Chains A and B, each alone.
Chain A
Amino acid sequence: MQFLMLKPFSAVFALFLQEATTGRMNMAWDKAQHPDLSKFLVIGALLFIIGVAGVLTRRNIIVIFMSIELILNAANLNFIAMSRYLQETGSVNAVAGQIFAVFVIVVAAAEAAIGLGIVIALYRNKETIWVDEIDILKW
């Protein structure tokens, strides 16, 4: 991996190559020392980015809300993965990640209720769900 000058992204490559190449290529890869936490973190990061892309590009306000749910879930996935990793290291506070995840779910539920109430009130008054047509606060 190092002779290819791919050092900055070696973990990402390793993530996708690990199962296929372990044993064949003589990589400096000690599986027992590297926990699979980074895989979960990469999955969480990808879900987060998909959510951000949805918030930025879509016009439908309901799909924007759904993208926010996706972002919160990516954060939850990171919390749980970190909690599991800390359990592995023998930390006594490992369960804190799961408690955080519970609170994130609570906040997501409250946010969905309020946000959808606002969407219904907005649709009743403006007859639109396109965010680029809701511009009455523009100067």
Chain B
Amino acid sequence: MILSGWEAVFFWFFSIAAIFAGLLTVMARNTIHSALFLISSLVSIAALFILLQAEFIAGVQILVYVGGVMVLFLFVIMLVNVGEEERGREEIFNRKRQVTTSVIFCALLAAGLLYAVNVGYEGLKLDKGRQQAAVEAREGRERRLATSETGTSKITKDAEQVGSSLYRYASLPFEIASLLLLVAIIGSVMLARTIKQEAAVDDVAPDVLPKEAAHDPEVEEAHNVIV
């Protein structure tokens, strides 16, 4: 994986964009701006995935993160009140001592990680003959791929490979993941219910509820309907 020519330009552009957007996510005062910067960071990371020839993961990243998770985030930001923060009346960071400690910790972490990459980097050297063989094998595979409709690129088999190994070698984790998503759906619905909805569905006796909810005509009506 040697980046050459436009690949290197692409890499530098999107990696710098990802890091700056990530920094601005953490530092923006307005929470909506934070979410939008996070979206641009995620899109830049998806572009890096494309550079790494993982087109399927890049598509999933855009669909799931930008299309699903971040829309959820934006809705929740609109549901809760963050106006005080925006108008500068609330401090956005923790107290000074905590921030200093965590910045020191992050600097140590950065030094440690960069040192680890640096040490491991020596071990990444590829044997020249083996690498040449792999590159030739890949080029041979690519020559046999079908040309796309527009004629500008080849249709890779990346998604096909990921799909077949997902169902062959990782079928049990795949099923567990689907169960996890089901539990997450049910859990988030349970968590986000209001006390009225809980009273209506769970058939709670009115005297157990807090006063204002118990005397709410809607709750009593819902209760009577269910009883």
Contact = CB atoms under 8 A, between A and B. Distances in A.
Per DSSP, are chain A's interface residues mostly helix, strand or loop, or mixed? helix
Interface in A49-93: 49-54, 56-60, 62-63, 65-67, 69-70, 73, 76-77, 80-81, 83-85, 87-90
A113 B184 contact: yes
B125 interface: yes
Given A9-B114, A40-B48, A49-B113, A98 B2 contact: no
B49 to A, nearest CB: 5
A120 B188 CA distance: 10
Size range of the chain B interface in the assembly: 35 or more
Contact of B188 (A42, A89, A106, A117): A117
A62 B91 CA distance: 15
Interface string A102-116: 110111111111101
Given A34-B125, A65-B73, A96-B165, A80 B57 contact: yes
Interface of B: 1-3, 8, 11, 15, 18-19, 22-23, 25-26, 31, 34-35, 38, 41-42, 45, 48-49, 52-54, 56-57, 60-61, 64-65, 68-69, 72-73, 76-77, 79-82, 85, 90-95, 98-99, 102-103, 105-106, 109-110, 113-115, 117-118, 120-121, 124-126, 128, 130-131, 133-135, 137-138, 161-162, 165-166, 169-170, 173, 177, 180-181, 183-185, 187-192, 194
B54 A38 contact: no
B28 to A, nearest CB: 8
Contacts of A108: 64-65, 69
A121 interface: yes
A77 B48 contact: yes
11 contacts: A10-B118, A11-B117, A35-B2, A36-B3, A47-B41, A53-B106, A60-B92, A77-B48, A83-B54, A89-B131, A96-B169
A67 B181 contact: no
Nearest to B102: A56
B113 A106 contact: no
Contact of A101 (B54, B130, B161): B54
B69 A69 contact: yes
A73 B113 CA distance: 16
Residue of A52, A96, A109 with highest tally of chain B CB at under 10 A: A109
B94 A62 contact: no
Interface of A: 8-12, 19, 31-43, 45-54, 56-60, 62-63, 65-67, 69-70, 73, 76-77, 80-81, 83-85, 87-90, 95-96, 98-99, 101-103, 105-114, 116-121, 123-124, 129-130, 132
Nearest to B105: A56
B80 A119 contact: yes
Residue of B69, B130, B137, B170 with highest tally of chain A CB at under 10 A: B69
Contacts of B34: 62-63, 66
Contacts of A57: 26, 93-94, 98-99, 102-103
A78 to B, nearest CB: 10
